[in-house]
Structure 1
Amino acid sequence: MGSRRATIADVARSANVSPSTASVVFSGKTAVSEATRKRVLDAAAALGYSGPDPRAASLRTGRSGIVGVVFEEHLRAAFLDPVKTALMDGLTDAVAPLGAGLLLLRDDQGVGAEGGGASLGSAPLDAVVLVGCSGRLRESLDIVQSRGIPVVVIEGDAGPGIPQIHLDNREAQRQAASHLRALGHEDVGIVALPLDAQRERGPVTDDRLANATVAVTIERLAGARDVYPDAPAVSAAASSIDEGLSAARALLAMRPRPTAIIAQSDLLAAGVIRAAEEAGVRVPEHLSVTGFDGIQVDGLAPYELTTLVQPAVEKGRAAGDAVSRMLAGADVETILFECSFREGNTSGPVP
């Protein structure tokens, strides 16, 4: 063949299969026998065929060089969240030694990708990391596990046998609530992250909480209510300043008005502070505010949030390390990370 680049037809001829069968081996969309798959890959390796599919780049190992990352939200929303971007930084660093790239997917009925393209059911993946999964987690897990692909879950209840990267959400939130209790606060409100995939705004009723599926929200709410069992809560549609502003307006309209508000993220807390300024309520003289995450929020000066600092980069790195170990055939255990409490100037004694 001289210097001509090998084609899929050349591979099929060499492996003594049809071109369609050879294509199926590379696409991974239809199951073929292991013997046929090996024959095609061996022929491709001998011919130096790299193919359109990324898995051909690593024919000797049978790997695609792709780690799927599944989000429960639209990707544009995920990357507006500094915690998610920090987590992705850690994950990217950890899988880099594998020579692997990341394929970002949305957990849309367990199968779809953002914009419709690759999916959990067909993409050539070496491993999958599920991030912040909601009630659709089981469907996604079923798809991944049916393909025999290693999977790691970040902050989601994946059940036994699945390595998970956890954060001490309940204990950390309890610590912030205890801080407010020590300052004398009795009337405390909560601005919560979304409860489920529908991301509805509004008061967190018993019925809504009973049907909640987002583990992070549930755990942080439980931690706050360990200290303030009757604290009213309002759920936001996302972790953003605007959503915090909207939820805090509802809480500040209550009578008696809360003297402190626990926000489940720093972006939500920044929105709470804006709502207080809008209402002529001084922070922390008239209203104490706590956040969660420990991120840098632009435009928050002169305030420095009282918050829980979570190791977001380390969480992503731990997930990537778990992927590496699983691909090497090693056992991987669930990891629990802890937050650290940081007192700023947004909390003070009850007025």
Structure 2
Amino acid sequence: MSKVTIKDIAQRAGVSKTAVSFALNYPGRISKKTYEKIMAIVEELGYVPNPFARTLTTKRLGAIGLLLPQKIGDIFGNPHMAQIISGIGEECERREFSLAILPLIRGKIIEAARKSYVDALITIGVGPDHEVVDLLKKNHIPFVTIDGEESENTINIGIDHKNAAKEIMLHVLQQGHRDIAILALEADTKPIESTHTSIVLQRRFQGFQEALEEFSISLAEPSVQILNCKSSMQAGHESVQILLSNAKRPTAIVAMSDIAAIGALVAIKENGLRVPGDIAVAGFDDIPESSLVSPALTTIFQPGRQKGTEAARMVLNMLDGAQGTHIKLPYKLIVRESTLRA
């Protein structure tokens, strides 16, 4: 049996091939009655559009890409990232676009960008000096960053990570803690020839430093331990085992993700210690699980799903010729039992 073509559908419906093309790509250009008639025949004949023919007609692929900053397994192990991706996907579905998940290639975002076959891109955690930004600009590919940096080169959707980090560290310090361990994000968005990692990591460390300085403490002091930690329960659990093997045990742990903080909380209790009596624990994200664990987790709320929705909406509007604008979303310190001393 030969493959069904637009010509076959047009003949069966008694309309032109242009009308069929409009039904498949621009339904608003034909009457509802004609659209329904054509689509009923499309369904009956089992027609599958040729993506390359569609591209010639619409000058678009009908897809946006999400460049992942970490290994795909690590990303989907973090509930906050899952919320962001869900928000992007929901907006793509509403606008009838596909979403392509683009993992690192040979450990690099820029390699994934070079091999992408999409109309527009969303990146996570990259700053205006990142090599991928230059690539996208040169090729006139619309793109938006999530948790990047507001600049002339990048349209960004995110929260004020520096002040959010400052608030949660100040809260921990105000509880009397001076021996503090930080479970830092392990990011893969490092630009070539840069001493920094992701923008999120930079800004949160700046916030931590400002809070510590108010108590005459520095990030470089021995009383502040910093461990790189993936955003997973296992990584948080393993980090606590390392901390408890050190001669000086921290009295508080501030994790840059809730899921790592929950892993830390579990490990502390497995070692016969109390939270927050022996070690206080704070996280970041306010994922649903943070209020369900015992004790409930002190954290920073940030709207993950809304980040994704706003980023997808913005980049799709830019694809239609709109001017991109930065969006700063709200955050909030949520104080729960995991840091409150009796």
Answer whether TM exceeds 0.5 for this pair. Answer: yes
Q: Is the contact between residue 67 and residue 121 of structure 2 (CA under 8 Å) also seen in structure 1? A: yes
8 A contact 2:262–2:290 mirrored in 1: no
Query: Which residue of 2 is the match for residue 126 of structure 1?
Result: 119
Provide the rounded CA distance (Å) in 2 between the counterparts of 1:56 and 1:158. Answer: 37
2:245 paired with 1:250: no
| 2:89 aligns with one of 89, 92, 109 | 92
Partners of 1:111 and 1:138 in 2: CA distance: 9
1:308 and 1:237 mapped to 2: Cα distance? 18
Relative to structure 1, the CA distance from residue 121 to residue 301 in structure 2 (aligned partners, 3 Å threshold; closer, same or farther) is closer
Counterpart of 1:94 in structure 2: which amino acid?
Answer: E
Change (3 A) 1:161 1:112: closer
Aligned residue pairs: how many? 289
Preserved contact between residue 130 and residue 153 of structure 1 (Cα < 8 Å): yes
Per-residue CA deviation, residues 82-109 of structure 1 (Å, 9 max, x unaligned), is 1111111111222333311011112433
The aligned residue for residue 117 of structure 1 is: none
d(CA) in 2 for partners of 1:219, 1:3: 55
Deviations, residues 169-226 of structure 1 (Å, cap 9, x unaligned): 111111111112222222222111115569xxxxxxxxxxx82312212222222222
TM-score, normalisation: structure 1: 0.73
| Structure 1 residues 236 and 5: CA distance shift in structure 2, 3 A | same
1:54-83 alpha-carbon deviations (Å, 9 max, x no partner)? 353354431110101110222222112111
* Aligned residue among 138, 141, 150 for 1:149: 141
| Contact 1:194/1:235 (8 A) holds in 2 | no
Question: Which residue number in structure 1 is paired with residue 195 of structure 2?
Answer: 211
SS of the aligned residue for 1:293 comes to coil
Q: What is the TM-score when the length of structure 2 is the normalising length?
A: 0.75
Residue 182 of structure 2 aligns with an amino acid whose one-letter code is I
1:327 is displaced (CA, Å) by 1.6
Is 1:274 matched up with 2:266?
yes
Seen in structure 2, the aligned counterparts of structure 1 residues 336 and 233 have a Cα distance that, compared at 3 Å, is: farther
Letter in structure 2 aligned against 1:96:
E
- Name the CA distance, whole Å, in 2 between partners of 1:250 and 1:102: 39
The structural deviation recorded for 1:234 is 2.8
Establish whether residue 56 from structure 1 lines up as the match of residue 49 from structure 2.
no
SS in 2 for 1:143: helix
Aligned 1:170-209 pairs, distance under 5 A? 170-194=162-186, 196=188
Contact 2:150/2:156 (CA < 8 Å) preserved in 1? yes
- 2:301 paired with 1:309: yes
Greater fraction helix: 2
Task: Indicate the SS of the match to 1:104.
Answer: strand
C-alpha change, 1:293 and 1:3, in structure 2 (3 Å) is: closer
Which secondary structure state, in structure 2, belongs to the residue aligned with residue 297 of structure 1?
helix
Alpha-carbon distance in 1 for matches of 2:120, 2:240: 40
Amino acid at match of 1:217: L
Given that 2:181 and 2:250 are in contact with CA atoms closer than 8 Å, whether structure 1 keeps it comes out as yes
Confirm or deny: 8 A CA contact 2:109 2:189 kept in the other structure. Answer: no
Change (3 A) 1:4 1:337: closer
Provide closer, same or farther for how the CA distance between residues 342 and 275 of structure 1 changes in structure 2, counting only shifts above 3 A: same
| Structure 1 residue 167, shift from structure 2 partner | 1.8
CA contact (8 A) 1:121 1:144 kept: no
1:202 matched residue in structure 2: none
| The 10-residue stretch of structure 1 (341-350 or 260-269) with the greater mean CA deviation from structure 2 | 341-350
Question: For the structure 1 residues 60 and 191, does the alpha-carbon distance in structure 2 shift closer, same or farther, using more than 3 Å as the test?
Answer: same
5+ long unaligned stretches in structure 1: 8-48, 114-119, 199-209
Q: Is the 2:254–2:282 contact (alpha carbons within 8 Å) kept by the matching residues of 1?
A: yes
Q: For residue 281 of structure 1, what is the amino acid of its counterpart? A: L
The one-letter code matched in structure 1 to 2:53 is A
Report how far residue 247 of structure 1 moved. 1.7
CA deviations on 1:273-327 (whole Å, 9 max, x unpaired) are 1231233221111211101010123896322101111100010011011112202
Q: CA RMSD in A?
A: 3.0
Aligned to 2:27: none
Residue type of the alignment partner of 2:195? N
Question: Is the Cα contact below 8 Å between 2:68 and 2:102 reproduced in 1?
Answer: yes
Equivalent in 324, 341, 344 of residue 336 of structure 2 = 344
| CA spacing shift, 1:50–1:145, aligned 2, 3 Å | farther
User: What residue is the counterpart of 1:77 in the other structure?
Assistant: 74
